[in-house]
Amino acid sequence: MASFVNAEVGIQVCVLKTFGDAFDYLAPQPLPAIGARVLVPFRRQERVGIVVALESALPHDKLKTIIKILDNEPVLMPAILTLCQWISRYYHAPLSEVIHRALPKKIRLGESLEQLLQPYYTLAQPLAQAQANLKPQATKQHALLNLLATHASLSHKEVRGYGFSKAQLDQLAAQGAITRYLKPPECPISNAQVPAHVLNDEQNSAVHHILPYLHRFQCFLLEGITGSGKTEVYFTVIKHLLAQQKQVLILVPEIGLTPQLCRRFEQQFSTPLVVIHSRLNDHERLSAWQHAKTGNARLVIGTRAAIFTPMPDLGLIIIDEEHDSSFKQLDGVRYSARDSALMRAKALDIPVILGSATPSLESLHNALSGRFGHIKLTKKAQTGAKVRYIVSDIRQQKLQEGLAASTIATIKKHLQAKNQVLVFINRRGFAPILMCHQCGWLAHCLHCDSHLTLHTTTAKLLCHHCNMHQTRPTQCQQCTSHELIAVGLGTQRITQHLQTLFPNTSIARIDRDEVQSKEGLAAHLEAINQQTTQLIIGTQMLAKGHDFPHLTLVVVLDTDTAFYSQDFRALEQLGQILTQVAGRAGRAKAGEVIIQTHLPEQPLLQTLLKAGYHAFAQALLAARQQARLPPFAYIAVIRAQHHSESRVHKFLMTLKPYLQNFNLDLLGPAPAPLYRKARVYRLQLLLKATNRPILHQALHALCQHITLSRHQGVQWSIDVDPIDLF
């Protein structure tokens, strides 16, 4: 045999979780496909890797040969590989980390795709012939043949359901009477039961704005007030795409993926549809992924990570509540699913719709500057009940557990009218501080630069940063006084107080302590819809996505902190939360929103309440432009942490020289806003550039010199476009 027949070719394989992008190997002919899994020798182990290139610049005699090809077809479609490579470059994350996120666990572990397939059985011979080969006394086997004769095919599960055993099936198969074959599980098909609304003029014009762009890359910002019928606009556009045999991907925030929303989609489409979220088990996830990849599923609804779903006929990506912070991953690969969606759409030349009542300043800026199409829905789709804002000036007022007398009176009025009331405070627990009345000592976390929050239901002090908890002390640790007082407000304290004020009212507290699971949340929401709950105390868990038709009053406590926050996005988030929470009221009936504040004349607050979110956001944009902050500047944070303060500092100092020759502002090393967390010191460098390429050149130069693994135990990371500087 001529040796060139067996000539091996250099290839690149991405071995997952190696802090690297790819390693070079030799592969014999026929070569694996790009995107297929291979088994490779790696540091004396056998590891699963993904083929990412069929070339290598390294001399062949330095390379090891792959052990085995695991797939004939790529598991990582070219479009997803391209997306992963973009994310790896843009967020300066190793490709092996990005691809790790993109693939279901069972695929990463190298399991065969075949095991997803279910066994089915059919008759292999005419019934009479099969019967003739059986002993007459084999009654069970005869019955089994009769059963199969009356069905085209039956799954293993169905046959077992009729009371037959695996042994009986195996025996008939061995005799050649029946055939066993493997078939993928059916994709769940939703069944439209609800006719679509006739769109109003605004919705119609939104749809007609979008339809001409279905075959190319174009991003639309659909800015529509709560209840203006954005979802119905999505439905109509989606129907056009489905009719053209396209698939559609819909991304929603973690908190927005409610059974309510899924039901609405299922009621609109008679289409194979899968939902992808973090609570799926490995098998469900793989199954949904496979349905999307084979094109069986035409609609995919999912949270952040669903941006990696392979969809060969993808024709549109919709991002609902695009401003939501859960679209940005906060650890590991710090990608934004929204921005990644734009890249995926651009590569495929398909449109994207970003929907929100309170768009992010980035998207708004893009819309105002003409880069995105800008579509507005300004009217409620259903008889628009009005919401009235009441700014309650609480300066010098006597407060009862944080509530002004006028607020309590208004709550009473709404409860007496048999309506629902929501009190919104974004802090869980009873009180954020336990203080000694004698000497001013504060209960502090031993491991963090943070106070401990008092939780009375468990009689514990809890650190909200590291979860350290201890039983509530009875004495001051400084002066031994017994006079320890709870300072500040939390959901538990408000709930307790309102329960004493309104003893006959059914009250529910909805926060992370009370509601640990989505099922728990669903039960609470059901009780609210059934009106068994009349008064609700909640955190931002409740701020979006849920319809409460009987809610007529929202009370917002604690808005003032945002005006003092160091975080440059705090005001944007306040505006979004206030608008979203207010959107819960007045869905069906006219509503009121009370905002208790010490800053009633704050101009931005006034703009928000009088002129609405859009005007507020424009004012914030002007301020960001002045301060040269995103979206008018491009920033990245390099964070580092270690038990030794000096070691973190020294490490960040060694990075600086690599970044200094670029035209950017380099700030730090400076302590992170929470300097010590869980006994670890945290410092950061801030990079700020007037354009994106400069920022990326600098980070790229840095990554050339220093890998993202630990350095002398110092853990570090790069966050491009951070959503906060913590």
Q: Which C-beta is closer to ligand ADP: that of 194 or that of 459? A: 194
Q: What stretch of H or E contains 572?
A: helix 570-584
Q: At 506, which amino acid appears?
A: S
Q: What whole-number distance in Å separates Cα of residue 443 and Cα of residue 471?
A: 11
Say whether residue 439 binds Zn ion (CB under 5 A): yes
Number of chain positions touching Zn ion (CB under 5 A): 15
Do 507 and 537 form a contact (C-beta atoms < 8 A)? yes
DSSP letter at 548 equals -
Q: What is the 3-state secondary structure (H, E, C) of 465-509?
A: CCCCEEECCCCCCCCCCCCEEEECCCHHHHHHHHHHHCCCCCEEE
Question: Residue 218 CB, nearest distance to ligand ADP (Å)?
Answer: 21
Taking alpha carbons only, the member of 560, 598, 551, 599 closest to residue 578 is: 560
Q: Which among Zn ion, ligand ADP, none contacts residue 466 (Cβ within 5 to 8 A by kind)?
A: Zn ion
Residue 478 or 707: the one with the smaller Cβ distance to Zn ion is 478
Q: What is the number of other CB atoms lying within 10 angstroms of the CB of residue 262?
A: 16
Nearer to Zn ion, 194 or 439 (CB): 439
Element (H, E) at 564: helix 561-564
* Cβ within 8 Å of residue 549, ≥6 positions away: 529, 587, 588, 589
Per CB under 5 A, 465 contacts Zn ion: yes
**Does 445 help bind Zn ion (rule: CB under 5 A)?**
yes
Q: Which residue, 291 or 677, has its beta carbon nearer to Zn ion?
A: 677
| Dihedral sign, Cα of residue 78, residue 79, residue 85, residue 89 | positive
Contact 13, 49 (CB under 8 A): yes
Q: Does 197 bind ligand ADP (CB under 6 A)?
A: yes
Runs of H (alpha helix) within 295-371: 337-348, 361-368
To ligand ADP, the closest distance from the beta carbon of 626 in angstroms equals 32
**Which of Zn ion, ligand ADP, none interacts with 481 (beta carbon under 5 to 8 A by kind)?**
Zn ion
Q: Does 112 interact with Zn ion (rule: CB under 5 A)?
A: no
The site partner of 411 among ligand ADP, Zn ion, none (C-beta below 5 to 8 Å per kind) is none
448 binds Zn ion (CB under 5 A): yes
Residue from the set 382, 478, 532, 663 that interacts with ligand ADP by CB under 6 A:
382
Does 579 participate in binding ligand ADP (rule CB under 6 A)? no
- The residue range among 118-126, 196-204, 555-563, 718-726 that interacts with ligand ADP, by the rule CB under 6 A, is 196-204
Q: Which does 56 bind (CB under 5 to 8 A by kind): Zn ion, ligand ADP, none?
A: none
If phi > 0 it is left, if psi is from -120 to 50 it is alpha, else beta; for residue 379 that is: beta
Helix, strand, coil distribution of the chain in percent, nearest 5: 35, 25, 40
- Where is 100: in which H helix or E strand? helix 95-102
According to the binding rule CB under 6 A, does residue 50 interact with ligand ADP?
no
Closer residue to ligand ADP in complex, CB, 227/373? 227
User: Residue 662 CB, nearest distance to Zn ion (Å)?
Assistant: 37
Which three-class secondary structure state does DSSP give residue 201?
Answer: helix
Q: Show contacts with ligand ADP in window 198-257 (CB under 6 A).
A: 198-200, 203, 224, 226-232
Which CB sits closer to ligand ADP, 175 or 540?
Answer: 540
> Between residue 470 and residue 489, which ones bind Zn ion under the rule CB under 5 A?
476, 478-479, 481
List the single partner that 382 binds among Zn ion, ligand ADP, none, CB under 5 to 8 Å by kind: ligand ADP
Contact 502, 508 (CB under 8 A): no
Binding partner at 669 among Zn ion, ligand ADP, none, C-beta below 5 to 8 Å by kind: none
What totals of helices (H) and strands (E) does the chain contain, helices first? 22, 32
Residue 476 interface partner, choices ligand ADP, Zn ion, none, CB cut-off 5-8 Å depending on type: Zn ion
- Asked if 438 touches Zn ion (CB under 5 A), the answer is yes
The contact set with ligand ADP (CB under 6 A) reads 197-200, 203, 224, 226-232, 381-382
The contact set with Zn ion (CB under 5 A) reads 436, 438-439, 441, 445, 447-448, 463, 465-466, 468, 476, 478-479, 481
